[in-house]
Each structure stands twice: as structure tokens, then as C-alpha cells.
Structure 1
Amino acid sequence: MMTETKRDVFDEVRYKFRNFKNEHRHGMYASPDSIDHYLSDALKRYDAAFPDDLPVIPKTVGDILRSAHGQTNLLGVLDTAKNGYKISETLAWIIANQNTFALAWGLGIWCVEETGEIVKLEAEK
């Protein structure tokens, strides 16, 4: 699964163009066609990349979101959390970070606090 963010794509394009500039100084030449092709590919990757500002949540909270996947309202998700998870730390985190929790649920994508892994819930088929 791709876990590239928009910033990752931007940073690579910036690096690549810095190299084009250095190559040109040393007598090497990149054709306009090769640059256009590279930019077209980079734009597609940028469009497909994840946002930079993903919600960051603990793994246990992500487990709740995974178990509630497919529910269509936030109250149902919170009910799943309340009934299915008696871990007070996790519920306390959700209460203290309601907006982040709701954003992760709404987007269906988040970054795991402990590992930095990006998790994306896939649409049900």
C-alpha cells in the first residue's frame, strides 16, 4: 500500500529540480519532454498521495475505528467504543480528543501514534 504524503512528492520534485540545475551547470541537459513527463507523473502521484496533516491517534483508538468500520454515524462508532472497550485510557483519549477521533473516522485514514504507520480503511465491497 502506498503511504506517500503530498509533502513527500513535493520534496522529491524539489530535489529532482535541484539536480537538474546542477546537471545543467556541468554540461548535462534534460530535455523539456523528459521534464514534462516527470512533472506529469509527479502530479498524478501528488493527486493520489495522502494529506500531510493526517490525524494522529493511538493504536488502540485505531482498533476501535477498525471494529466500527462500515458504521454510518459517529454516535454508533462511539457506542462501539463504549461497549466494546472497557480500557479507560482509550476512552479517556477519545473524550479528550473528540475532534481528532471524528476526523480520523470521517476520513477513514490516520497515522498511528506509536509507529507512524498510515492506516487507511478500505471501502467495503
Structure 2
Amino acid sequence: MSNETKWDVFEDALRALEEFGEQGSSWEMAYDDLSARYSAASDEALPDDTPVIPKVVGEILRSAYGQTNLLGVLDTARNGYKVSETLAWIIANQNTFASAWVLGVWRVEETGEIVKLEAEK
């Protein structure tokens, strides 16, 4: 998986299409070339609305992933013996947290860095 979003791939394909037009290539040639080149890239690209979560929340997600399930994390955040800002954020932003959990990828709020969970070996 790359760090490109689907929108990035679309913009790259659009630029390539413009180049084909400038070279006088036919639309059929352009379509064949672009569909081969950008179809796989689009499949690999991140969603445009990649969840954005704070770094500390990402650390909890990363450490809990594979050791428990999403419901367990949300239950701990809600009913844990010690409420923290981080757990309060998870409860207040359950949909965003769940999206990051399911996708296995998120953007760090403070830095903009893309974090991806490693595939299990």
C-alpha cells in the first residue's frame, strides 16, 4: 500500500491523459495505457478520508491490535478503571477510531504522518 490517496492517483491519471492529448495520441490508446497503469495504483491507494487520530491514540490502537478486538478496546475505554484524555478521545470519536482499526491505517493528527499496521507474518 502506498501513501497516495485515491484522489492523488486520479490527479496523476488526469495529468497523464493531458500528456497523451498533447502528443496527439488517440483516446483509445490513452484509455488502454492509463487503465493498465492506474487501475492497480487506485486499488492500492489509501482512501481520501483516511482517519486522523492523535499519536497517543494510535499507540493504543497499535498495541491493542491483534491482542484484543475492537469491542474490547471500546469497552475498556468506556468502563476502564482509570479514565484518561486518550480514552476519553476514543469514546468521543468511536467512529474515527473504528475506521482506523478496520482500515489498519491512519494519519497522525500532530504530524500528518501516515501509519500502517504491519501485516501479520
TM-score band, normalised by shorter chain? 0.7 to 0.9
What is the TM-score when the length of structure 1 is the normalising length? 0.77
State the superposition RMSD in angstroms. Answer: 2.7
- Runs (4+) off by over 4 Å: 29-35, 80-83
Unpaired segments ≥5 residues, structure 2: none
What do the CA deviations read for 1:19-55 (whole angstroms, capped 9, x no partner)? 222333xxxx479557523430211111111111111
Question: What are structure 1's unaligned runs of at least 5 residues?
Answer: none
Count of residues in Structure 1 that have an aligned counterpart in Structure 2? 119
Alignment of 1:1-125 (within 5 A): 2-24=2-24, 29=25, 33=29, 36-78=32-74, 79=76, 82=80, 88-125=84-121
Q: How much identity, in percent, do the aligned residues show?
A: 59
1:70-108 Cα offsets, whole Å, 9 max, x none, are 03422322438957xx68221221121111112211221
Specify the structure having the higher radius of gyration (Cα): 1
